[in-house]
């Protein structure tokens, strides 16, 4: 019997996971990477530092800070601003209530908005229009979200009330924004006076809400077994997808009037909304169609076998599965729509970008300050789009869990 030697294993002492090791692995592993890092690092540092310096020292931000209300609501009469507030506050309240009632992703969205308004209330702008009253209003909105949350949590409050609240929000908002002729309490404010973020959000929200059901209808139409419906939907979708948005915008601006009875005149903003809606609907239709194709035919057979009608099958079985399958693409289309609203500047509507342009053009001195304006606008869009894409990723993750097959 041989003597067994127990060899004690001596483990190599673990290297400290310090920054040295990290740099060695990620920046300097190998000659190529080392060279690359040595070239890129000074360049990146230079860019970063000179940008920061420009931002805080060289740049003249008065072009942005002097016109907060212009950027926000365009030329909307300053004494009627409370009407914009009505819609805004209603939305924020409902957002809080929805968070309270249903939770989930709504919590992040509601809190994000509350924080946004709190930040607005504390912005370091010095402007006569941006007085204490305005700041108090903005801060109150942040609190309104919380109030909505507590109301939403009340068990006895039925979810359907909140849904009804959302349903009447667009109507209420529009009524308060536009007002009526010959009214003392709500004098008419023409849409030509609306501008800035107000217009951008109206177009984006309106476009999203309207284009989605139209897109679903078009997708169903394209897959229909009725040849005329299918042909019409296909031609409609493919034509719109084959031309740039700007041509659709111009078509609605200039030519639409010719296709309707001569007595009708449609408001310019509404025409832009219709154009954006129709354009986005065609793209949403293709996304939904992809989702519909992904639903296994066995699902429909099972629904029929258990006695459900075509309509019930569509509503309970087909659509939920189809939409879940293509949710990322659908939300991506919404984000694109939000960015596409900038094109209305070309048909003369003063959205957020348009206000920036008109501010630059209003004073020759501002010609030097274009970069501040456009960078500011770019950053604002960027923030909203980035937040939307984060929300989309969270939504995807949530949906994935419950439909894991």
- Binding positions for other proteins, 251-280, rule CB under 8 A: 251, 254-255, 257-262
- Interactions with other proteins, residue window 354-393 (CB under 8 A): 357, 370-371, 374-375, 377-378, 381-382, 385-386, 389
Cα 350 from Cα 342, distance rounded (Å): 9
Asked if 197 touches other proteins (CB under 8 A), the answer is: no
Q: What is the nearest approach in angstroms of other proteins to the Cβ of residue 256?
A: 10
- Per-residue DSSP letters for 86-114? HHHHHHHHHHHHHHHHH-THHHHHHHHHH
Q: State in angstroms the smallest separation of the CB of 20 from other proteins.
A: 14
**From 51, 293, 309, 362, residue interacting with other proteins (rule: CB under 8 A):** 309
DSSP H stretches of helix in 226-326: 227-242, 245-250, 256-259, 268-294, 297-305, 310-312, 319-325
Q: Is there a contact between 318 and 300 (Cβ–Cβ < 8 Å)?
A: yes
- Closest contact distance (angstroms) between CB of 397 and other proteins is 16
Quick check: 355 and 195 in contact, CB under 8 A? yes
Report yes or no: 360 and 370 within 8 Å, Cβ to Cβ: yes
DSSP secondary structure, 26-71, as one string: HTSSSHHHHHHHHHHHHHHHHHHHHHHHIIIII--THHHHT-HHHH
Q: Is 316 in the site for other proteins (CB under 8 A)?
A: yes
Binder of other proteins out of 77, 103, 244, 348 (CB under 8 A): 244
Residue from the set 20, 21, 24, 29 that interacts with other proteins by CB under 8 A? 29
Among 13, 16, 307, 364, binds other proteins (CB under 8 A): 307
> Is 171 among the residues that bind other proteins (CB under 8 A)?
no
Of the residues 111, 147, 229, 266, which one makes contact with other proteins according to CB under 8 A = 229
Q: Among candidates 385, 401, 273, 403, which has minimal Cα distance to 331? A: 385
Q: Does 345 bind other proteins (CB under 8 A)?
A: yes
Burial class (CB in 10 A: 0-12, 13-18, 19+), 297: exposed
* Cβ distance to other proteins smaller for residue 166 or 232: 232
In the complex, what is the shortest distance from the CB of residue 234 to other proteins, in angstroms, rounded to a whole number? 12
Stretch that binds other proteins, among 158-166, 202-210, 241-249, 268-276 (CB under 8 A): 241-249
339 binds other proteins (CB under 8 A): yes
Tell me which residues in 9-28 interact with other proteins (CB under 8 A): 26-27
Among 108, 304, 358, 391, binds other proteins (CB under 8 A): 304
119 near other proteins, judged by CB under 8 A: no
| Residues in contact with other proteins, shown as a per-residue x/- string from 30 to 59 under the rule CB under 8 A | ---x--xx--xx--x---------------
Which of these ranges, 62-70, 108-116, 137-145, 234-242, lies near other proteins under the rule CB under 8 A? 234-242
Query: What is the phi-psi region of residue 179: left when phi exceeds 0, alpha when psi lies from -120 to 50, beta otherwise?
Result: left
180 binds other proteins, rule: CB under 8 A: no
Alpha carbon separation from 366 to 64, 75, 369 (Å, rounded): 11, 19, 5
CA distance 89 to 179: 18
Least distance to other proteins from the beta carbon of 260, Å? Answer: 6
Is residue 226 near other proteins by the rule CB under 8 A?
A: yes
User: Smallest gap, in angstroms, from Cβ of residue 17 to other proteins?
Assistant: 15
Q: Are 311 and 248 in contact, with CB atoms under 8 Å apart? A: no
Closer CB to other proteins, 254 or 397, in the complex? 254
3-state secondary structure (DSSP) of residue 180:
strand
Tokens of 318: 């087909």
Confirm or reject binding of residue 317 to other proteins (CB under 8 A).
yes
Of the listed pieces 121-129, 144-152, 211-219, 335-343, which binds other proteins according to CB under 8 A?
335-343
Lookup: tokens for 110? 């509601």
CA gyration radius for the chain? 27
């Amino acid at each position: 019997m041989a003597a067994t030697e127990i060899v004690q294993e001596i483990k190599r002492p673990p290297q400290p996971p310090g920054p040295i090791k990290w740099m060695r692995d990620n920046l300097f592993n190998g000659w190529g990477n080392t060279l690359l890092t040595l070239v890129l690092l000074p360049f990146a540092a230079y860019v970063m530092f000179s940008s920061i310096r420009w931002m805080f020292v060289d740049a003249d931000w008065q072009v942005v800070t002097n016109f907060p209300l212009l950027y926000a609501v365009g030329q909307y009469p300053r004494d009627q601003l409370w009407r914009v507030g009505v819609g805004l506050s209603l939305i924020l309240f409902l957002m809080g209530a929805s968070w309270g009632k249903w939770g989930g992703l709504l919590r992040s969205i509601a809190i994000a908005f509350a924080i946004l308004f709190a930040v607005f209330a504390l912005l370091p702008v010095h402007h006569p229009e941006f007085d204490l009253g305005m700041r108090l209003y903005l801060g109150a909105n942040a609190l309104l979200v919380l109030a909505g949350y507590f109301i939403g949590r009340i068990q006895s409050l039925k979810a359907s009330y909140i849904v009804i609240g959302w349903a009447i929000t667009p109507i209420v908002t529009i009524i308060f924004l536009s007002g009526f002729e010959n009214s003392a309490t709500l004098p008419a404010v023409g849409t030509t006076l609306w501008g800035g973020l107000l217009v951008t959000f109206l177009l984006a929200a309106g476009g999203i809400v309207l284009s989605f059901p139209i897109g679903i209808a078009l997708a169903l139409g394209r897959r229909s077994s009725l040849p005329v419906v299918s042909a019409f939907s296909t031609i409609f979708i493919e034509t719109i997808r084959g031309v740039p948005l700007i041509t659709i915008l111009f078509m609605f601006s200039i030519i639409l009037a010719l296709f309707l009875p001569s007595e009708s005149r449609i408001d310019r903003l509404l025409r832009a909304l219709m154009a954006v809606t129709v354009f986005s609907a065609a793209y949403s239709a293709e996304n939904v169609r992809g989702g519909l194709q992904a639903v296994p035919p066995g699902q429909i057979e099972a629904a029929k076998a258990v006695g459900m009608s075509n309509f019930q099958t569509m509503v309970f079985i087909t659509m939920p599965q189809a939409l879940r399958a293509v949710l990322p693409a659908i939300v991506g289309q919404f984000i694109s729509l939000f960015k596409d609203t900038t094109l209305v500047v070309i048909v003369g509507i003063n959205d957020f970008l348009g206000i920036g342009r008109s501010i630059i053009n209003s004073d020759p001195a501002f010609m030097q300050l274009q970069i501040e304006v456009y960078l500011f606008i770019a950053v604002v869009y960027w923030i909203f789009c980035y937040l939307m894409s984060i929300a989309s990723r969270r939504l995807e993750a949530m949906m994935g869990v419950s439909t894991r097959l």
